[in-house]
Chains A and B, each alone.
Chain A
Amino acid sequence: MKGDTDLERLERQAWRKFYDDGLFDIFLGTMLAMMPVASMIETWLPNELSRMAVLVAVYAGLVLAFTLLRRGIVRPRLGTIKPTRERRRKVHGTTLVLAGSVLLGLLVWAVTALRGAGNTDFVDYIPLVFLLNATVVFAAMAYLLDVPRFYAYGPLFGMSIVVLEYSRTLLDIKIPVFVAFGLPALIIVGVGVYKLVRFLRDYPVRDPGTAIHENG
């Protein structure tokens, strides 16, 4: 469709509707809000393995809830499509970016564990690595999935740890962990809820026999 500007625009509009439900935003915001829970689990559970198991279960539950909600809310309203090859290539690219981000996270964790907590030089830079990683990952997602608001989510995600850590180490101010993660999470969930309400209003489920469509 190169050079076919109007058809490209129509394709983009049709594609973006699948991210207009706000569920992905709610999912991202909830993930961010769950981070303080991760630090709470550290104090409740005795060993690393049980902590990891609980965290994996919590995040797997979130992913499952997100998948079921999307299936129950979006599919009856928007239906399903198999996108163009170019669009599918971009979705695969997003998966690769996310996998790369997870690998980077594991690498940082491994390096930190190997070099030990005593190596403060490296540990000091972890919030910046997290900020950079989140910004790059969300920017790539925004570009590849064609959803511009994701550009703003990366810095929001990353700043939570930067503010939390550097306010303590550089300014000697202790910001509660629920505030540092909760505020950006609240913004992202708020955007998601707003979009979900609009989505439910704009795209009603149409059973066979329903009369004229109102959004056309």
Chain B
Amino acid sequence: MKTGSEHPNPELDRLVHEPARLAILTNLYLVESADATWLLQQTGLTWGNLASHLGKLEEAGYVRVKKSFKGRKPQTTLSIAEAGREALLAYRRQMLDALQPLE
């Protein structure tokens, strides 16, 4: 019998499970690529938080960060990597399975 302290799904990807990172991955899943301003507006995060979570996602290979220059202005283009896409969809499946008994 399960106790209250037991995690419902120990296989959940903790990197995706965190709300801010989940928002980042979900939003990047919706487009081919975007800049940081769009992601900031969509997620509601602060610049600092966004940069910190993006760093973790990039480190895990879930997000690609491409830095370039448009004229003399620096430009950062963000996109979801294949691993990030798979992780997000797997997480979604796991959550749906976990929550289904409550319906």
Q: Are A84 and B47 in contact (CB under 8 A)?
A: no
Could you say which residues of chain B place their CB within 8 Å of the CB of A84?
30-32
Q: Are A211 and B37 in contact (CB under 8 A)?
A: no
Q: How far apart sit A216 and B29, CA to CA, in the bound complex (Å)? A: 18
Residue of chain B at shortest CB distance from A216:
B44
Number of residues of chain B lying within 8 A (CB) of chain A: 22
Any chain B CB within 8 A of the CB of A114? no
Contact flag A82-B32 (CB < 8 Å), given A14-B27, A213-B40: yes
Could you say which residues of chain B place their CB within 8 Å of the CB of A14?
27, 30-31, 42
Q: Are A206 and B40 in contact (CB under 8 A)?
A: yes
Q: How far apart sit A214 and B33, CA to CA, in the bound complex (Å)? A: 24
Would you list which residues of chain A between 64 and 113 have a CB under 8 Å from chain B?
75-85
Any chain A CB within 8 A of the CB of B86? no
Any chain A CB within 8 A of the CB of B15? no
Contact flag A85-B32 (CB < 8 Å), given A208-B47, A210-B47: yes
Q: Are B38 and A78 in contact (CB under 8 A)?
A: yes
Contact flag A81-B26 (CB < 8 Å), given A211-B46, A213-B40: no
Any chain B CB within 8 A of the CB of A212? yes
Could you say which residues of chain A place their CB within 8 Å of the CB of B43?
213, 216
Any chain A CB within 8 A of the CB of B22? no
Q: How far apart sit A85 and B35, CA to CA, in the bound complex (Å)? A: 17
B29, B37, B44: the one within 8 Å of A80 (CB): B37
Q: Are A10 and B26 in contact (CB under 8 A)?
A: yes
Any chain A CB within 8 A of the CB of B45? yes
Closest chain-B Cβ to A202's Cβ sits at a distance in Å of 10
- For this complex, 18 residue pairs linking A to B, each with C-beta atoms less than 8 Å apart, are A7-B29, A10-B27, A10-B30, A11-B31, A14-B42, A76-B37, A77-B41, A78-B37, A78-B41, A79-B37, A80-B35, A81-B38, A82-B32, A84-B30, A84-B31, A213-B40, A213-B41, A216-B44
Interface residues of B (CB under 8 A from A): 26-27, 29-48
Interface residues of A (CB under 8 A from B): 7, 10-11, 14, 75-85, 203, 206, 208-216
